[in-house]
Amino acid sequence: MKAGFIGLGKMGNNMAQHLLECGHDLVVYDLSIEAVAALAEKGATAAASLQELACLLESPRIIWLMVPAGASVDSTIELLVPLLEQRDIVVDGGNSRYKDSERRAARLKEVGVSFLDAGTSGGLEGALQGACIMVGGEKTAYDVIEPLLKDLCVENGYGYMGRSGSGHFAKMVHNGIEYGMMQAIGEGFNLLDASDYDFNLEEVSRVWAHGSVIRGWLMELMVRALQKDPKLDYLQGSIADSGEGRWTVEASLEHEVSIPVIAASLFTRFRSRSNDNLSDRVVAALRHEFGGHAFIDKP
């Protein structure tokens, strides 16, 4: 298929490269001239602007966005609107908020353009070798892009989730689950390390990655990380969050659904960013006040 591809960061570059390897005809654009040139060397058609990208595609166009969530998606869509025609399709494959996707779908519908929100999972390796993609929007538009999805994803790794916003909602919940799973793995290895047994954590992770109930890609990644350093001393313990965990908790409040594990994993990420946390000092002070428990003075 012929399609436009906008946004050639780490994920976008790998996805575009994957599609090229599968024989698709891509017109690519990015603010980075170097990124566009690199993909042009691999068979893509380079576009110097959004206007040129639109001109190089025949209507009905398929334009896939892999730009950072938020204002960048909105600004890119607004720049595309005067360049698009009825029956064109815009796909947002980034980690956008589902409510933003609902709004964008309504905006593009005004000009007769279909909008699909495609939540993409699998990391950089998945983008290059086979991803998992959850798509929301008009079913007729989904059917049009399915050949792209089939080649981008592993077998049975893509599907139609429902109306606009559902693709990114599914991806948001997926990432919330991911938060909880990673937190449980981290806590488990912390307990192993604190025990009286001299565990080889790499060996434990290797065993768990083969045949255990908790086997899976995350455990395989744990093996890989521990092979680099059995104590992970090359990393800082401060954990960032990219938004999906917060949105998941907000959605749970809106729908009155209890998600204590996911919520706790998000709050733990906040906690990880400070070695001198007020909550710790409050607990220490209260313990001292009611029970005379010792506390550590600040230096």
DSSP code at position 159:
E
Q: Which two tokens stand for residue 19?
A: 């599609």
Q: What pTM does this model have?
A: 0.91
Q: Annotate 17-44 with DSSP letters as a single string.
A: HHHHHTT-EEEEE-S-HHHHHHHHTTTP
Name the residue among 274, 255, 252 with its Cα closest to residue 263: 252
Tell me which of 52, 138, 146, 178 is the catalytic residue. Answer: 178
CA distance 168 to 175: 10
DSSP code at position 294:
-
Q: What are the residue ranges spanned by the domains of the chain? A: 2-163, 171-281
CA distance 66 to 43: 19
Q: Which two tokens stand for residue 113?
A: 């353009």
Percentage helix, strand, coil for the chain under 3-state DSSP, each rounded to 5 = 55, 15, 30
Residue owning tokens 């390390």:
193
Task: Identify the bridge partners of residue 45 per DSSP, sorted by sequence position.
Answer: 27
- Residue 280: the pLDDT is 66
Active site residue 171: yes
Taking the chain (299 residues) in consecutive chunks of 10 residues, what is each chunk's mean pLDDT?
A: 96 96 98 97 97 97 96 97 97 96 98 97 91 98 98 97 98 95 93 95 96 95 91 79 91 97 92 71 72 68
Q: State which amino acid sits at residue 144.
A: V
- Residue 64: the pLDDT is 98
Domains 2-163 and 171-281 share a fold: no
Q: Buried b / exposed e across 140-177, counting CB within 10 Å, b at 16+? A: ebbebbeebbeebbeeebbebbeebbbbbbbbbbebbe
Strands, E assignment, the chain: 2-6, 25-29, 45-46, 62-65, 89-92, 114-121, 131-136, 153-162
142 to each of 5, 31, 62, how far by Cα in Å? 17, 28, 11
Name the residue among 35, 34, 33, 27 with its Cα closest to residue 11: 35
User: What's the alpha-carbon Rg for the chain, to the nearest Å?
Assistant: 23
Q: 117 near 95, Cβ under 8 Å?
A: no
Domain 2-163 has CATH 3.30.1380.10: no
CA distance 121 to 134: 8
205 to each of 56, 202, 209, 216, 239, how far by Cα in Å? 50, 5, 6, 11, 21
- Residue 106: the pLDDT is 98
Tell me which of 171, 203, 244, 289 is the catalytic residue. Answer: 171
3-state secondary structure of 286: helix
8 to each of 39, 69, 214, 238, how far by Cα in Å? 9, 14, 34, 28
- Residue 259: the pLDDT is 97
Give the end-to-end CA distance of the chain in Å, rounded to a whole number: 65
- Residue 277: the pLDDT is 64
Active site residue 41: no
- Residue 279: the pLDDT is 61
Domain 171-281, what fold? N-(1-d-carboxylethyl)-l-norvaline Dehydrogenase; domain 2 (1.10.1040)
Other CB atoms within a 10 A radius of the CB of residue 194 amount to: 9
